[in-house]
């Protein structure tokens, strides 16, 4: 039920409420991995769900509505980074957003996502979907709209490249 705002109430289908409640945290986590910003992650995740609600009659008929929301969120994150490329570089110069008081493991994790964001976008998205959400190959394929074989290739290439990057940074001892 919408709050009173002087406008006609908008019905929120129960199925949408369930999707929102069950997947919001995962979508925020995913966008965080791809943006490095908690506030941006929440903003873009909410935008993705608002779009799903707007088109719910269509989205609800899809095989994997939660995957559609993730795909929109990932594209929003990518569009934002490209549009704000100059600003993103400025942030990179300062290093990954980190608080020195954070535990070492958190700093390492931020550094990991920083390196993921340097991958070609499809590889980065596949890596994020795998390690943030532990999605299966088929589920990742559903989100990205590609064949399962493509997902396997993206993950393989992404891991290989990421492993080299992380090893060069001293974040891991061994390659993949």
Measured from the CB atom, is 92 or 149 closer to another protein?
A: 92
7: which DSSP letter?
S
Applying CB under 8 A, does 155 fall inside the site for another protein? Answer: no
Rounded distance, CA 169 to CA 171, Å?
5
Contacts made by residues 140-149, CB under 8 angstroms, sequence distance 24+: 142/63, 142/64, 142/67, 143/64, 143/67, 143/70, 143/71, 143/74, 144/71, 145/71, 146/122
Q: Which of residues 94-133 bind another protein (CB under 8 A)?
A: 94-96, 105-106, 108-110, 112-114, 116, 118-122, 127-128, 130-133
118: which DSSP letter?
T
Q: What contacts 14, CB < 8 A, 6 or more positions away? A: none
Size of the site for another protein (CB under 8 A): 89
Shortest Cβ 170–another protein spacing (Å): 10
Q: Which of residues 50-69 bind another protein (CB under 8 A)?
A: 50-51, 53-55, 68
Applying CB under 8 A, does 6 fall inside the site for another protein? Answer: yes
Give the side-chain half-sphere CA count within 13 A for 155. 21
Applying CB under 8 A, does 154 fall inside the site for another protein? Answer: no
Member of 56, 75, 137, 153 binding another protein (CB under 8 A) = 75
Shortest Cβ 83–another protein spacing (Å): 7
Q: Which of residues 16-55 bind another protein (CB under 8 A)?
A: 16-17, 20-21, 24-30, 32-33, 38, 40-51, 53-55
**Are 104 and 95 spatial neighbours (Cβ–Cβ below 8 Å)?**
no
């Amino acid at each position: 039920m919408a709050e009173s705002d002087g406008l006609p109430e908008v019905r929120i289908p129960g199925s949408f409420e369930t999707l929102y409640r069950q997947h919001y945290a995962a979508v925020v986590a995913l966008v965080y991995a791809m943006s490095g910003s908690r506030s941006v992650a929440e903003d873009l995740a909410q935008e993705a769900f608002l779009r799903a609600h707007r088109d719910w009659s269509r989205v609800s008929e899809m095989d994997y509505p939660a995957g559609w929301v993730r795909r929109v969120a990932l594209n929003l994150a990518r569009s934002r980074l490209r549009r704000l490329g100059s600003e993103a570089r400025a942030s990179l110069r300062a290093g990954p957003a980190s608080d020195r008081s954070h535990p070492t493991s958190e700093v390492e994790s931020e550094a990991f996502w920083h390196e993921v964001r340097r991958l070609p976008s499809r590889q980065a998205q596949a890596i994020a979907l795998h390690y943030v959400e532990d999605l299966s190959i088929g589920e990742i394929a559903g989100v990205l709209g590609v064949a399962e074989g493509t997902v396997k290739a993206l993950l393989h290439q992404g891991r290989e490249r990421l492993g080299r990057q992380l090893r060069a940074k001293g974040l891991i001892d061994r390659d993949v």
